[in-house]
A and B are shown apart, each in its own frame.
Chain A
Amino acid sequence: MNTTVPTATARRRSIEQGLSTLLRGLGRVSPPGLLGLIYLFIYAPLLILMLFSFNAQGNLAWWEGFSLRWYEELLSYEPLWKSLKISLIVTGVSVLISTVIGTLTAYALYRWRFWGKHLFESVLYLPMYIPEVVLGISLLVFFIFWKIPRGILTMILAHVAFTIPLVVLVVLARMQRIDWTLEEAAMDLGADELTTLRRVTLPLLFPGIMAAAFLAFPWSFNDFVITYFVTSPGNAPLPVLTYNLILGRKSGGMGMINALGTLMTVATLLMPLLAVLLLRARRFSLPGRRRSQS
């Protein structure tokens, strides 16, 4: 009895010590080490894809020499341009509409109490948590049910529906940082509701609205699943075209997707940079620093 207890304790202690040495060791090497591995996990696939878009051999992931032939093939591929046009139309129109509707909704949600607010909120965020396939299929069934021909219009209808919740969330986040006394101050100084909206509320919300649009843009542009179900074969936006290329047995398809992926990735990575530059260009000193007196 007397001898087992110390050994058990000793064993536990040695395990603890081992664990803590391990963790301390990990802690020391980790920031460059483990963190690097995870960043590698994130970036490597895209970097390799970009690298091999310049490979002479399209289907093989082994370097066979530098070539721009996939870019040439891709850019001369007629359907690409049509798809790009469709994608830009659908996304542009949808983001515009959903930004307007989402901002109005966020405003009502943040500023007013109304009957059925809880129910309304749970329906509002439905598109965010209903599985995309289900939403896509429901819309497909809906459009067939009403005999609405699928195409650009149906894509826009669907894209607006699933980008609204995102816009609402982003704009609401911005609203939480605004000093709403400013609205009262404007009315107090003689501005009616519409003038207050135009002169005070919108300028203050502007960065949030822009951020919402910038987030909604790739959300809509890159959406595949819902889009796939609500479009017709003749109206394939870029993601659907990519999907068809991936599945298709088109010769040299792989190389073309590598090239397309590279171009799209570069374009996406440039977007936030552009956004930052745009927002820097105008001065918006916002009341983040303002004293928060209750």
Chain B
Amino acid sequence: MNAPQEVPSVQLIDVTKRFGGAAAVDRVSLSIRKGEFFSFLGPSGCGKTTTLRMIGGLETPDSGNIYINGERVNDLPPYERDVSTVFQRLALFPHLTVAENLAFGLKIQRQSPRVIRDKVAQILELVHLPGLENRYPDQLSGGQQQRVALARSLVLEPAVLLLDEPLSALDRKLRKEMQIELRRIQREVGITFIYVTHDQKEAISMSDRMAIMKDGKLVQVGAPQEIFERPRTAFVADFMGALNLFSGELIEKRGRHYLKTKSGLVIHVPNPQEPLCTNGPQLLALRPEAIEIYPKNQDPPRQNCFVGKVLNRSYLGEALEFEVLLNGIEHVKVYAHGRSMATRIAIDEEVLVRWDPESACLLHEE
């Protein structure tokens, strides 16, 4: 556990940025701990990149304050901030060699040539790129360019490293590799990493904590597992892949909670950790892979089990996707493993679906 007095690495207080009339970033408050791998996750245009650029000093906030290591940096230009950015388009200087690119910031700090040479060699070692000093950026592969961009920022040993979707240009396999690399490097150097991405899997697999943004606002901040398992809003639930939503009223019977939908389904919901307000409509989110699907003649546990009809079935490779209609109204998406007995289920067939009440999640807002 962090000591309570520790100064946060980056702290945003009520930060707002408008472009024209619309707020790109709307009253965002957040603090990021030292040495943390923190991700901003959200669809394009949600304000995550703008937030990052404000931390880096490439945009100035219209209101609110930004602190880096406890120092207010609103009025500091980027070159006076102890942060460094890895850009989405990498921005390697095309007129300089790899070594010159890496030495760029060091030369500006007026380090001696010997120190520069040593540091460049060291950092190339760290990113596993020795021997490429004299190449020009356009003579490198995409993955190598990526590493050089990372190294160029890291060699300055900034307090915070900002990464703006740096892996988006890479193909899937290379991206996976680089994700692991990034984590390794972050552990080795111990610098705070702030990472922006629109890929939820990437954010979940890499981050210590993450923030979900929508329309310039923070929607939810927390550890990946916490967000994944307990999304607060329908947006987060949907974004994290909990594609099934039930809306209805909450009722309590003999210490257990149920959601009664308009179509008349009575769904067993997990026991809430905090007291729930029982009036008004409530939303329940459920991941498609948490649902089990059985042919009608099977006999699964009867608890939380419903009869439905298969409307559609498609093969996704690693799973089968079913669209099931419950009670004639509720559409439910179900992912079943390719090897289960679900493979025998055909369109229009009557099926049973059930799930563990604990795998569903009651949403707090919206």
A residues engaging B (CB < 8 A)? 179, 181-182, 184-193, 195, 199-200, 203-204, 283-287, 289-291, 293
Contact = CB atoms under 8 A, between A and B. Distances in A.
A190 B105 contact: yes
B152 interface: yes
A179 B108 contact: no
B306 interface: no
B228 interface: no
A185 B85 contact: yes
Interface stretch (B86-94, B118-126, B206-214): B86-94
Contact of B84 (A188, A195, A286): A188
Given A286-B94, A287-B94, A185 B108 contact: no
A8 B108 CA distance: 82
Given A186-B104, A199-B104, A289-B138, A192 B79 contact: yes
Contact of A291 (B83, B89, B93, B153): B89
Nearest to A191: B108
B61 interface: no
27 contacts: A179-B91, A181-B87, A181-B89, A181-B91, A182-B91, A182-B93, A184-B78, A184-B87, A185-B87, A187-B78, A187-B79, A188-B83, A188-B84, A189-B105, A189-B108, A189-B153, A191-B108, A195-B108, A200-B93, A284-B95, A285-B136, A285-B137, A286-B94, A287-B94, A290-B89, A290-B138, A291-B89
Interface in B134-151: 136-138
Nearest to A282: B95
A293 B152 contact: no
B30 to A, nearest CB: 21
B195 to A, nearest CB: 16
B168 interface: yes
Given A184-B78, A184-B87, A189 B169 contact: no
Contacts of B79: 187-192
A190 B111 CA distance: 13
Given A188-B85, A189-B84, A284-B95, A293 B104 contact: no
B266 interface: no
Contact of A190 (B87, B95, B108, B169): B108
B56 interface: yes
B77 interface: yes
Interface string B127-139: 0000000001110
Contacts of B84: 188-189
A200 B92 CA distance: 11
Nearest to B138: A285
Contact of B94 (A186, A199, A285, A293): A285
Which 3 interchain pairs have the tightest Cβ spacing? A189-B105, A185-B91, A181-B91
A189 B104 contact: yes
Nearest to A292: B89
A282 to B, nearest CB: 10
B91 A184 contact: yes
B165 to A, nearest CB: 9
B93 A188 contact: no
Contact of A293 (B57, B89, B108, B153): B89
Contacts of A190: 79, 105, 108-109, 156
B115 interface: no
Given A179-B91, A182-B91, A190-B79, 16 more contacts: A182-B93, A184-B91, A185-B85, A187-B78, A187-B79, A189-B79, A189-B84, A189-B105, A189-B108, A191-B108, A192-B77, A195-B108, A204-B95, A284-B95, A287-B138, A290-B94
